[in-house]
Structure 1
Amino acid sequence: MKIKPFFNEMICRVQDDEVNAIAAQLTYYQILSFFPFLIFLITLLSYTTISRQDVLDEITGILPENTDQMILNLITETVSSRSETLLSLGMIATIWTASRGVMAIIRGINKAYDEAENRHYVVVRGISILYTLYLALVLLVLFIMLVFGEVIGRQVFSFFELPQYFGTVWGMMQYLIPLVVIFFVFVFLYHSAPNRKLKYKEVFPGAIFTTTGLIVVSLLFSIYINNFGNFAKTYGSIGGVIALLIWMYLINITIILGGEINAALTNLREGKRREQCKPFGYYLILPFKQKKEK
């Protein structure tokens, strides 16, 4: 595959398919379900040997700076003031809201493939709820791996009497396994979301891009927050909220772009292209062209 036609296609798709707008819509639904989901997760884990503080430490370690203390205070206050029944009922509403975010992804990926959604509403809603529950289960497993990975490794080494160097291997696997799991989460999403039959190998490029992109975007955004961006000075007490929104928005753009990459590669293999695509580099030379015309 030639690089230039691919980038031409992607530039066109980002504009035509309203990637930014879909990411903003997805962020809205996520922020509605983000806090209730974390509260439910902590309540659920209270029935295990995992402490609330362990979970909060892992969550705040993933999130950008300036958001961790805000989330910690909100969750602690809410969990201590609500009953388990209300938390359970709240989780039902959370799953419903989060599934609407998945439906926004489905619409965006269908648009990327130029496919009309003719599946029954119940089928689409069922896929979105199934993916939401699947994602919740994956997050639960990831938290267990991150919190108890070292303990699990020691037990396994002791039981099978494995050599000492397996400890180093397990230390790497403790972080590699979550990445592999996240990769297959996106493989499942990109395969089942569009209203067309796809082979699993056809969605691997987008899943690889998204899995890698989540790490890169989070690292770069954290570097920016730590060294350049001080949202507290600009937005005051809601600086943490703004930082969280921007981070989630960037993550959602990455997710939508993963679907666009799969669709672009599929269409190029089939000899299809967006007719209104501008040539690669058009938007770089446009200002000079306009200046010359004046």
Structure 2
Amino acid sequence: MINLDNKKIIRLFKRLKSRIQDDEVPALGAQLTYYLILAFFPFLIFLLTILSHTSLSSADIMLRLSTIIPDQSFELVSGTINDVIENGSTSLLSFGIIGTLWTASNGVAAIIKGLNKAYDQSENRSFFKLRGFAILITIFLSLGIVLALVLLVFGEILGNYIFSIFGLSDIFKVFWGFVRLLSPVFLLIIVFILFYKYAPNKRLHFKEVLPGSIFTTSAWIIISLLFSYYINNFGNYTKTYGSLGGIIILLIWLYISSIIILIGGELNATLAFDRKTFKRR
């Protein structure tokens, strides 16, 4: 016999499925993928420009990126980034950082449109206000990635230094190891919380966007790792698409990422409409 809680969960999934269909999330995800592929390389260039002012090297971020992106697409990404860095001067990248940031924020602006559709909201904010917010989110996302990389790369050295000063036991070292590995996950959740809260043209509370943020973070990490594992071990798109295989894989990965982000917004919107309906009763 199905209890009340199970009925609520089933009803939630049915409404979520209905909203995904009504808002044409798969089609919207395809549109978003177009903007993301245009913003992907400028965002990496902007991120590497920031990293050039820290003790991290471009090799560190590319190494971490290789764990998520399939090998064939990673070769394409790393080759393109290396060409940009080798053929373009650092001063030129710094001078053109505003244009690079503007292009990279196009993907964020496209996601904002998708979230407005999830909440059935029309966009009445000015173009410059909306674009400014998209640029701000891009900057915060970049800083969050840099902070996560610092903890991953230098977390062990920092932990050993702290332990030597305070004379902490090995138990704290194990605890610090978990904190260092989980920090990117928590940082990503915080980024999505801020994004889902402020991106739609609707006043929302933190607790209203937490479910979608947790779902998006966990689903994106798990599915990205599974997709990368499948492509690296079973899927060979090079045989089908030749030299375009890496691009096709990157497009599929960005499409999956787009769908996950939009579903996270739809989940928050579904829960919000359910709460509104419950209050009316």
* TM-score normalized by the length of structure 1: 0.86
Q: Distance in 2 between matches of 1:72 and 1:30?
A: 17
Cα separation, partners in 2 of 1:230 and 1:90, compared to 1, 3 Å = farther
- Aligned with residue 171 of structure 2, among 151, 158, 165: 165
1:92 maps to which residue?
Answer: 98
Map of 1:95-114 to 2, 5 A cutoff? 95-114=101-120
Task: Provide Cα deviations, 1:9-57, integer angstroms capped at 9, x if missing partner.
Answer: 1222112212122222222222222223323433432333323322321
- Aligned with residue 210 of structure 2, among 198, 204, 219: 204
- Aligned with residue 19 of structure 1, among 22, 25, 40: 25
- Aligned with residue 45 of structure 1, among 36, 44, 51: 51
Large movers: runs of 4+ above 6 Å? none
Q: Which range moves more in the overlay, 254-263 or 221-230?
A: 221-230
Alpha carbons 2:45, 2:100 under 8 Å: kept: no
Q: Distance in 2 between matches of 1:162 and 1:123?
A: 49
Cα separation, partners in 2 of 1:110 and 1:40, compared to 1, 3 Å = closer
- Aligned with residue 140 of structure 1, among 146, 156, 160: 146
Q: Distance in 2 between matches of 1:200 and 1:8?
A: 24
Quick check: 1:251 aligned with 2:235?
no
Task: Provide Cα deviations, 1:163-200, integer angstroms capped at 9, x if missing partner.
Answer: 12222111111111111110010100111112221111
Alpha carbons 2:39, 2:107 under 8 Å: kept: no
Task: Provide Cα deviations, 1:202-241, integer angstroms capped at 9, x if missing partner.
Answer: 1111011101111121122123213331111111112111
Letter in 1 for 2:35: Y
Q: How big is the shift at 1:8? A: 2.1
Q: How big is the shift at 1:70? A: 2.0
Quick check: 1:177 aligned with 2:183?
yes
Q: Which range moves more in the overlay, 40-49 or 22-31?
A: 40-49
Letter in 1 for 2:65: I
1:280 maps to which residue?
Answer: none
* TM-score normalized by the length of structure 2: 0.90
Gaps of 5+ in 2: none
Map of 1:182-193 to 2, 5 A cutoff? 182-193=188-199
RMSD after superposition: 1.8
1:287 maps to which residue?
Answer: none
Gaps of 5+ in 1: 273-294
